[in-house]
Each structure stands twice: as C-alpha cells, then as structure tokens.
Chains A and B, each alone.
Chain A
Amino acid sequence: MPGLGTLYGRGGATTFLMDLQHADLILIQGSNFAENHPVGFRFVTKAKERGAKVIHIDPRFTRTSALADEYIPIRSGTDIAFTGGIINYVLQNEAYFKEYVLNYTNASYIVDERFADTEDLDGIFSGFNAEKGTYDAATWKYELEETGGESGEAAGSAKDAQGDGTSPTTGGHAEHGTKRPKKDETLQHPRCALNLLRKHFSRYTPEIVERITGAPREQFVELCKLVVANSGRERTMTYCYAMGWAQHTVGVQNIRAAATLQALLGNTGRPGGGIMALRGHASIQGSTDIATLYDLLPGYIKAPSLERGEDTFEKWKKNWANPTGWWSNWPKYAVSQMKAWYGAAATAENGWAYDYLPKNTGDHSHQPMFFTMKDGGIEGLILWGQNPAVGGQNAALQRAALGRLKWMVCQDLFETETAAFWKREGVDPSTIGTEVFFMPSAAIAEKAGTLTNTMRLVQFHEKAVGSPGDARSDLSLAHQLGKRLKKLYAGSTRAIDRPILDMTWNYDSDDPHERERGEPDVEKIMREINGYVVETGEQVKTFVDLKDDGSTAAGAWIYTGYFPEKDKNLTRRRKGDDWVSLEWAWAWPANRRNLYNRASADPDGKPWSERKKYVWWDEEAKKWTGLDVPDFPATKPPTFRAQPGSKGMDAHDGTAPFIIQEYGVAEIFGVQGTVDGPFPVHYEPRESPVPNFLYPHQQYNPVLKEWRRRDNPYHAIGDPKYPYVLSTYRLTEHHLTGAMTRWNSWLAELQPEAFCEISPELAVELGIRNGDWVTISTARGEVEAKALVTGRIAPFKIGPKQWVHQIGMPIHYGYQGLVTGDAANVLPPLVADPNVSIHEAKAFTCNLRLGRRGPAHEGPTWMPVPADEQTPLGKPERGGRVEAGTAQTTDDAIVPAEVIMAGAQREREWEQRENLIERTEDTESEA
C-alpha cells in the first residue's frame, strides 16, 4: 500500500493487533473491523476494557459501530474531507506534537518554489498534463542546499515516466544525489511542508466537513478534541482502516491522509499508536510480499519496466538504488534474488541474468487485463483461488471476457462461478470456445505452508489430513508446471528458452508419499526465500548479510531471517505473551512488530514518557533496546550526525526513525511515489450524485484510470436515472465471493440469500417492505435481492436541499453453491485509483425499484466494441479535468437502437422458454 509506503517507507501496517489494547483511542474508519476481522477485534474489546474509547466512522451502522463508543456517519467516498478536517483542526489549534514533527517528519523541509497547490490551481496540482491526464511530478520536490555531495545532480529532473503512473513508490529520487534539502526549523517559511499542508487543508473546517460528508458538526468537533487529548507524550491513538478506504479512486490518498495525521500527532512507531491496515483476507499481505502484483518482484523490488527504459541491469539499478537511506542496499537484494532464481547462470557479466526477467511494457493490472481479454487479446489464463465472475467489478464484463479465452485453468476447492461461467443463466454453452480445466485444490488443513497475516506475521501450519481424491495443493500445480516446462524444453539451444532451463527448481519432497502425489517440500522453498550463502549453502541469518557480488542468494530479502538455519523454521514458533510476543512465529522485517519504533523514544533516545515506553537507547550498553526488535541500526547513537556527502544509512542522523526514507523522516509532503499529488485532496467518487463542493471545476481525481467503452458505461454526475449511492461490502458469515462458504450448510444458513440494506426513509419513498424482492440497476447491469429495511442505514443531508440515499449490498452471492443469488459486482464500473489500480466498489451510483429483474441482466457487455474503444495490452486510459456541471453521461456511450432491440428480443425469448418449461411441467404433473 503506497499510502503508507510513501509516508513512512514501508507499505505494511505500522503496528500489530495485540498492540491495539494499549491504545487510548481507536479510530476505525473505512473498515468494518468487527465483522471482517473478528479475531483481531478481540484487542479492540480489550482496549475498551482498559478504558480506551473506540470511534467508528462509516456510511453504515455495522456490527463494528455496535461495539464502538460512538458512531459517526459519513457519506461514502468523503473520507479525505473528514480526515482532512481533523488535520485542519490539529493545525489550526497548534495541537500537533512539535518535537516529533520537527525531528521525525519533513515538516520543516522547504519545497520547490514552482510547486503549486490545489488551492492555487482550483483542484489540481502543478505539473498537470491535461492531454494525457497525468501529472509530471517535477515540481513536487524539495529546494536543495547549494553545497552537497560530489554526486549531486541537478534537482528537479524527475523521471520522465513519473507522469505515466509508473513512478517509483519507494526510492526513486536518485537525481538528488547527496545534496540535502533546505530546512526551516522555526517552521515559519511559507513553503516549508508544514505550512503548505496548513494552507492545503485550511478550508476543511467543521462546517465544510459537515457540508461534504454529512457528519454532524458537533460530533465532528467533539471527535477532534478527543483525538488531540489522546495524542502526545503520555497518550496514543491508533487509526484502523481496510477496504473501505482502499476501494476508491482516491484509495491511496485516503490512507495518506490518516498517515499524515498520525505523523502530526506523533503516534506512529509508538505503543498503542500507528496505523493498523486490515487486510482483506488470509495472506493477502503475504501475496503482496511475495509478489502477485504485476509491477512488483518479491520483497517490494519494482519489476523492470521498459516504460522507464530499464533495459539493462545498470539502468534498473540506477533508478532504484537510492544513494541515501535503506534503499541504498537495493543492489544486494536484487542481485541475491536473481541468484536465487537463476543460480550459476546469473553472473556479474550478464547483469545477473537480467535478460531473463520479463519486462513490463504498460499497465498489466487486473482491470485493463480483462478489457484486453474481452477484446480477444489474451489466449490463456491460470486462476488460483480467484473468482472474477463474482468478485470482479462489472462482473458481467469479466464473465464475457473469460468466454474469449482459448483455455482457462482454474484451481479451487469447488467449481466456482468462474469455473462454471460457460453454463450460467442466459448463456448457450455451445457459443463459448474456452476450454476449461478445473483442478481440485487441497484445503488449508490438507497442506503445509505459511500465511502472512495483516500484521506481517508469517505463521507456518502443518498438514493435518490428506486431501481427498485428486485434490492437490496450489503449490503442487506451480511446482509440476515448472518441472514439466523444464522437461519440455530440455536440450533446447535457443536463447529464449534459457530462463526456463536455468531456473532453480529443486523443491521435490523427500517424503516418498508426498513426492508421488507431486507435492513439493514447502520448507525447501522457504529456505530459498530466506536465502543462503552460495558457496557453502549455509542459511543467511539476516538481510544485513546479503551481498551484491553474487555470493548470496535470497528469494525475498524482507523474509530473510525467518529460516536462519537449516532446521530452524522460526515461523513455527508458538510462544506468546500478552503483548509483543516476539517468540510467536516471525514478522517481517527482522521480526519487528511495531515499525519505526525508534520514534517511541525522543531525539535523545529516551522514552517520551514512562507510560509509553517501548524502544530506547541504552547508554551503558551503547545500543538500542526495549520491548521490540529496534527498527534502527542497532548501535547507531542518537547523537550521530550525518556528514555532508555521506551515503547509505550514514546519511541519516541518529534521530531519523523512518530508515527506509531518503532522509529518514516521514514525508507529510509526498515527494515520491503517489502519482495523484503530494497531498490528499477531497474529490468525489467517479460516480456521485453530489458535485465537488471544494473544487467545482474538478469533480473527481483528475488522474484516475478509466476505460470509456460501451461495455463499461459510466453514470453522469448527479444522473437522475441513478440517484442512489451503493457500497458493496462483506459479512462475517461469508468469505469473499462465497466460493468457500456458500458450499457449507452451517455458514450458508446464517446468511442464506442475497440482500440489500436500505433505509426506512427510502423504503417508504419507493413502497418497499422488509423482505420484498427489489432490483438494483446500473448501466452495467442489474441484480435482484431481498430488501432488508433497517434504521442502520440513514440518508445523508448534504447542503441545504439535497438528501443522498445510501444502499448497501454484500458481494457474497453467485450462481454456484448450496445457496445462490445475484452477484452485487455486476453493478460497479471498472475504474481505478491511479497508484495501485484498485477499483471503486465503495461508492458508485445506482437505481432501485420494487420487484424482480428480467432474465437478461448482464447489461451491455455483449455489445461489440469498436476498435477505437478497445484496450490494447497494457494501456490504461486516464481521467482529466471534469467540471461538476458537465455531463459525462450514460448516454455518452451511445447504445445503437438495434442493440437495444436485440436485448429486448432476448428477454422475450427467455420468457417464452420459461413459459414453455412451466407448461411442460404442468402437463407432466397432470399426467
């Protein structure tokens, strides 16, 4: 999550769940903590028992609100306005933690005079390229000192690719050389980061917060007071978020807003403080670490990209190996990774087999990939535990895309909707050419392996029972694929086959039974990920020992240390205590539980207070010590001062806790990483019934990714055809698309049918009674569900006249399994945050009517898309300057009359068929 990464250095949650019990105040926003993370919520209830206050800020009153001390309603998609309002309150009242802010953030750093804020340019930052719909980040820089290191180059020459959304999320301003930024430690300079922040959020007053978010003003001000009272030397506050923040076109900036606030209040790196990022499901943290994202290699090493001109190892290295800060170690991690993958074939001469690595040529994230697939640009797909036919946005489009594949391999526990897409309602299987291979998979208890949970904790689990029949672990499929590809290419002399022939692939299990079933040995893979000395085969103990000369190999440097000896798997450990539990499993990096914990001590290395003592400098032993593994060079004293021109970690003072960052401080002015601006800005969601009150000339994120195609139509701003706001979400009783839970009778009975939650006010307006069938529609399709009329949903009063109705619908249902129902994800459009390409499922517009839907409900996905609207591989489309008054209407995507007629014709055919079936049944029963 670059939201955290750009501010603090690492993308992981800064704290751990058990630490929540030491918070004095817990804010939960953009998360239904109790429902979706019930086990972790234990520590929120523990905190409450200890007297902490828990506040839930959400569009819906959920089971989390039920347990909170206070619930504050906000309109979906207005979180930045809310958090920005708190930031403004803190700054206006000079209530920030001065010593922390001055020493541990870039508040005093002076920003380039060419930088212009959204307040200056009416909703956009300097560097906006209206034609491309992207930013050039050249002016989002510090003003550098005149003298510096010998390698200092001209400042401000931002990488050309930065404006293309492929800019570095970590590291990436090597052009600064070792020159240091100018500072004003009196915080008086109008262009110091703090004063720019002050100006940026100055209009986020309680009145405006209420106007935009609908949260009652008095309640908001009370909250601000509570936040201030529970931060500082003696007290700390934790901010918790989840998908409710991520799934927006401003997803990353939602998180940045909270990270900024926590930096100002001095809560990060301290016990009971920080940001608790709650991941969507088991090991989603692990799958980002060991990397399922198209633009990352394991350990958050950016995948090579030709867009950035990284066609040789040297160019790649130049872009990512920072001269200062932790990323100065980048070459050690990258080279060790290549050694782990290609063994002896990776040499200094061939750039560590750099040519073997695939190079990105564009945006290959999920959404553009499915557009390309639908346009016939992709032949085959292997899916492990993913169910895009239900879980994908504009799900009908994604189902249609699957039908354009030549082949698809789907490994899952049950025949999911995706595996069965070719026989869904309204589809004639004979018209689909995709060959589907369904591979039954082993469930978690049927295989050994690790899960990396929401707090970066890697936990090993043993295989408890054998898997039934032909079911195999997911790993076994990957393992066998590798083995058989190697066999297939054996003896080839072609250069293009070398990556397969040279890749190390020695994971066969030593257990004859497992080997016979084709299962690999998980611990062999773990040993490689941890890393070893190439010459001796000895395990590497810490990532500090990794080398850039090819003498060490390690699959993912952040995991180095979890398997420090041949038979010592630290993730098996199960010795816990009631708090930090350093001997329970292993957390990356280096088993640290609370990141940036150097910040729990003052600049002199002493705890800020006895009550919040955590990690401190032991003057006698001359090292850092405390309750956690110090997140700092172990023997670097607080008095250490960097000399001009020094490199690597020596360029950081002994007071700089954010060791990954270039200057060791939290960056409240984001000079790196985010492509949509150095500060969070309130923009409306892509689809909203409300104009942007702050910036009438910029309705939504100007650089969001969108795809204007007739099979992915967007609603106009305030479109009267789609007046309501819909959020999709999850329930405790089901998991994701229900692929595991809707097949289990004990879980299915708890939430047996698709439903949507509506307010009593809307129910009265539309004549809907509790339990009635209703149809929810968007331009993408329509779904039916039972209405659950509840006071937990309330309309929002926005401004003097407008009422906004909120509707909620769980995403769990599909057409396979014990219990079935329509998939809510048929409704949202494909549109994405520009930083991480995440979709916007938490706020989009829809219509609602009483009654059931017709048979053809999948919207315009089957319409032929003309060539000029198609999506070639890797090419995202961008947003741009959009005024609130201008219609980006549904009608913009013109639907030809004959197409509509064809749709109606299909509906009629369906009705006739249904009637026929009914009649046949009647005759049969009579006979």
Chain B
Amino acid sequence: MSERLQDGVSAGPEMGFFTDVTLCIGCKACEVACKQWNQLPSDGFALSGDSYDNTGRLSSTTWRHVAFVEQMDRETPEASRWMMLSDVCKHCTNAGCFEACPTGAIVRNEFDDVYVQPDVCNGCGYCVPSCPFGVVAVQQKSGVAQKCTLCYDRQKDGLEPACAKSCPTDSIQFGPVEELRAKAKARVAALRDQGREAHLYGVDGEETRDVGPLNAFFLIPDRPEVFNLPPKPVLPSKFQPEAYAVGLLAAMTMAVVGISVFRGFREESA
C-alpha cells in the first residue's frame, strides 16, 4: 500500500466501506447525507417508474446511489424479494481512473482511497471510460471529474464519511479495510448458517482479477449481475500490450509497404 502513496503524506491503515445488502432498507439517507456534506446539486425532478429509484445511477453529482432490485413472483410468492444496494465508488486497488489520468489529478491518499484533486483535474475525461464500474463522470458546471472522495475531508478530521454516519441499520460500515473484511466474512458465515445465500463482492472473487481487492466492497445475496455489478470488471490497461503490439505491427507493416513502394519507385525511375 505504502508504495502507492504520494510524497510527504504519512500512511495510515487502508480505510473503506463494507456495504451489506441484507441490511439495507433503501431509505436513501446515505444519498442525502452525501449530497448535503459534499454540497452536490439535485439531478432534477422526474419519476422514473423504476421501482423506488428516481436518481438512476452514480454520476458526477450522485456519489451514493441506492439501486432497487424488485423481483416479485406470483407463482411462488415466497421467492419474491425486493433488494436495495447502496452503490458507491469501489476505490479499487488497481483503479482504471487512476491509470488513465494524464495530469496526476487522481491520486491515492493517505487512507489508500482514490481521490480526484479538483484543482489539478483539467476535465479531459479520460478517466470516465476507464472506470469499469461507470462511477466517475465529468460535471458540466465545474468542468472536472467528480466521484466519491470517501469523505476525505471528514476522514482528515477523524470523522467517518457522511453516508456511513447516517445509515440507520449499519448496512454501510466504515473502517480499516482489514477489519471490515474480517467482519464481512463472519457475516457471510452467519447468514449461511441461517440458510441464506451470501457472497462478498470485491474481496477475493473473480471480480478482483483485474481491479484488485476493492476498498469499498459489498455483501450480496445473489450473483453480481442481479445488482448491475460487473462479474469480471476489466481495466482498459489490460489491453495495452496487445494494443501496442498491434500498433507496432501496423507501423512495421506500413514501413515495409512504404519501403517497398519507395524502392519500386526508385527502380522504376532508375
């Protein structure tokens, strides 16, 4: 962890979120607390008709978003369920946005969280397609890329992030990632003991192959796709060697063609 730190900042333990879907009541207190603390504007007033979700997705102005998964089954009513997941920036170990940022605006801070420095960001937007979770976006008004900061400012004052603070059922827990992982594993075991399905997303599963373990990880009672989470998120940088190889090959081909054409021309003129 420490090797990823910027100069002049001392390292603390990695801090992150553990979001437990089985405890979420979909109250959206996290969304409101986030917007209030970070002074983010509302995204307009329109009913989506998509369950109780009217903010739709994470965006440059919505840094916590509660997704509603409504699966009602008339044939087998006992299988009916309505699940809520408070989505957020995953603060990946190998973050796509971090890799793509050409200005160095995106850094890992002393809490090992991925942070966009608004005064450095030039709004180029390279980070936007580089995030495999579709989290970061450039805000029209400020002109810079914005996403969850894991309440960097609050953390510096020893406070927990606003969303975790406001969560009434402890569905969102904040703390040192190591501790959270241990808690989460115990929770999974307890749920399985009760005969319920439970998986961790972002700890050591397939989804961490490219992006690494997530500092904001989830406990989900079903496959990731059900919650619109990519089962195998892929970083654009993964295609870099191939892309370079192909580029090189193309250049060489062009060179060969160029040379042969040039040679032919000389031969003709000779």
Contacts and interface: CB of A to CB of B under 8 A. Distances in A.
A752 B46 contact: yes
B69 to A, nearest CB: 10
A732 B28 contact: yes
B42 interface: yes
Contacts of A38: 25, 27, 29, 168-169
B260 interface: no
A791 B26 contact: no
Interface stretch (A61-69, A301-309, A634-642, A678-686): A61-69
Interface stretch (B81-89, B127-135, B139-147): B81-89
Interface in B166-190: 168-170, 190
Contacts of B41: 745
Interface in A63-77: 63-67, 70-71
A644 interface: no
B269 interface: no
Nearest to B26: A63
Given A42-B169, A49-B190, A771-B49, A61 B80 contact: yes
A771 B43 contact: no
Nearest to A731: B52
Contact of B32 (A61, A746, A791): A746
Interface residues of A, number: 40
B42 A791 contact: no
Contacts of A753: 45-47
A666 B97 CA distance: 66
A749 B25 contact: no
A66 B25 contact: yes
B55 A750 contact: yes
A913 interface: no
Contacts of A749: 42-45, 54-55
A63 B45 contact: no
Interface string A746-772: 111111110100000000000000110
Interface residues on B, range: 35 or more
Interface string B230-257: 0000000000000000000000000000
Interface in B187-215: 190, 194
Contact of B82 (A42, A51, A65): A65
A770 B51 CA distance: 10
Contacts of A45: 23, 25, 169-170
Contacts of A41: 25, 168-169
Which secondary structure characterizes the binding site on chain B?
A: loop
Contacts of B31: 746, 750
Interface string B55-86: 10000000000000010111001101111100
B36 interface: yes
Contact of B28 (A51, A745, A750): A750
Nearest to A769: B49
Contacts of A35: 25, 27
Contact of A792 (B42, B49, B82): B82
A732 B28 CA distance: 8
A752 B72 contact: no
A748 B44 CA distance: 9
A743 B84 CA distance: 26
A733 interface: yes
Nearest to A39: B168
Nearest to B20: A45
Given A63-B26, A66-B25, A791-B72, A748 B35 contact: no
A819 B45 contact: yes
Contact of A67 (B25, B28, B43, B70): B25
B47 A771 contact: yes
B74 A794 contact: yes
Contacts of A792: 70, 72, 82
A788 interface: yes
A748 B45 contact: yes
A176 interface: no
B51 to A, nearest CB: 7
A65 B72 CA distance: 12
A160 B28 CA distance: 53
A818 B170 CA distance: 31
A869 B205 CA distance: 72
Given A42-B168, A51-B194, A791-B74, A746 B42 contact: yes
A361 interface: no
Contacts of B77: 71
A63 B23 CA distance: 11
Given A66-B82, A752-B47, A786-B47, A42 B54 contact: no
Contacts of B54: 749-752
8 contacts: A41-B168, A63-B26, A66-B25, A732-B27, A748-B42, A749-B42, A749-B55, A750-B32
Given A45-B25, A70-B78, A788-B47, 15 more contacts: A35-B25, A41-B25, A41-B168, A42-B168, A63-B25, A63-B26, A63-B27, A732-B26, A746-B32, A749-B44, A751-B47, A752-B54, A753-B46, A770-B49, A792-B82
